Amino acid sequence: MARPLLYVPPGGAVFELTSRTLHGRFLLRPGRQLNQILAGILGRAQRRYDVDIYIGAFLSNHFHLLARFETPHQLSGFMQYFKANLAKEAGRLYGWREKLWGRRYRPIQVSDEEAALVGRLRYILSQACKEGLVLSPLDWPGVNCARALTEGRDLTGLWYDRTKQFYARRQGEAAKESDFATRERVVLQQLPCWSHLSPEHYRSALADLIQEIEDETRRTHEEAGTQPLGASAILRQDPHQRPPRSSRSPAPRFHAATRKVRRSLANTYALVHAAYQRASLKLRRGLGPVEFPPGCFPPRLPILDVPYQLVPG
């Protein structure tokens, strides 16, 4: 099945980004080293592509990110850089020589409604609890955005310059791995709909959401007679292991709080998609010049006997 058209509306938008490891294996299992590496790569990618990040949840076999992007080039560049470097470092750390990601990431646009943005924030906060892993978002032993947000601090990690390390080893230099590490930080921004709140009120609102999640998680376990897996058991998992069952549901095209806004987003996307298809067909037939809708990538070009005439959208 063809992947959906990557479209970022003019002026930018907030996206929820998700990606899962191959077969759902625990190749992102938390640990002191991976936590440092993951935060370092995320901070490096944020600084390199100037991205506003609101929250992230990094479980053992998938992650969710809520961030704002202005152009499709910024979105695709950021995700390629983050996922490629994380795959290399996690594979190096856990001895995994195959590809790490099961498929392409999925970007889901979130409307600018307060209910939609807060709803996605709450959903991402609850990831570890929803999966039956911990009782509170604050208990997650991996990279913990919930704790950073409620404490009003940035995430910090390490970025390793593997190119510099390679050439140093090639020249026979006796250097430690730490000699090639630099400190990076992830700056977590306030949600656009809550940007008017003071930092203290923002942290208080997040604490209220976390309390709701903790109460809901506790009730769920009491009704089912179960217990969460717990941080100690999570840290003991084999990174190459895969879960016995993996629940998947179709990802929506958009996250919106009302039917009216969801329909408006869908109509806009349909118009852009139709214009893109027309321009693509015209380009592949060599009938240029061709203008593609702004906010998306033109397709790969086939080999033709005539030169292309492409007008950037």
Domain span(s) for CATH 3.30.70.1290 in the chain = 13-257
Whether residue 158 is predicted with pLDDT greater than 70 in this model: the reply is yes
- Could you please report the per-residue DSSP string of 142-173? SSBHHHHHHHT--EEEEEE-HHHHHHHHHTT-
In this prediction, residue 312 has a pLDDT band, given cuts at 50, 70 and 90, of low
In this prediction, residue 120 has a pLDDT band, given cuts at 50, 70 and 90, of very high
Q: Say which CATH superfamily domain 13-257 falls into.
A: Transposase IS200-like (3.30.70.1290)
Q: What is the pLDDT of residues 2-34, one digit of tens each?
A: 678 899 999 999 999 999 999 999 999 999 999
CA distance 257 to 279: 33
Main-chain dihedrals φ then ψ at residue 103, nearest 5 degrees: -160, 180
pLDDT of residue 179: 85
Q: Is the pTM of this model over 0.85?
A: yes
The single residue listed with the structure tokens 């940007």 is: 195
pLDDT of residue 313: 47
Q: What is the pLDDT of residues 195-227, one digit of tens each?
A: 999 999 999 999 999 999 999 999 999 999 999
Q: Which residues pair with 18 in a beta bridge?
A: 64, 106
pLDDT of residue 139: 96
- Is residue 37 classed exposed, middle or buried when 0-12, 13-18 and 19+ CB atoms within 10 A define those classes? buried
Q: Which amino acid is it at 261?
A: V
pLDDT of residue 266: 95
- φ/ψ bin of 154: left (φ > 0), alpha (ψ from -120 to 50), beta (otherwise): beta
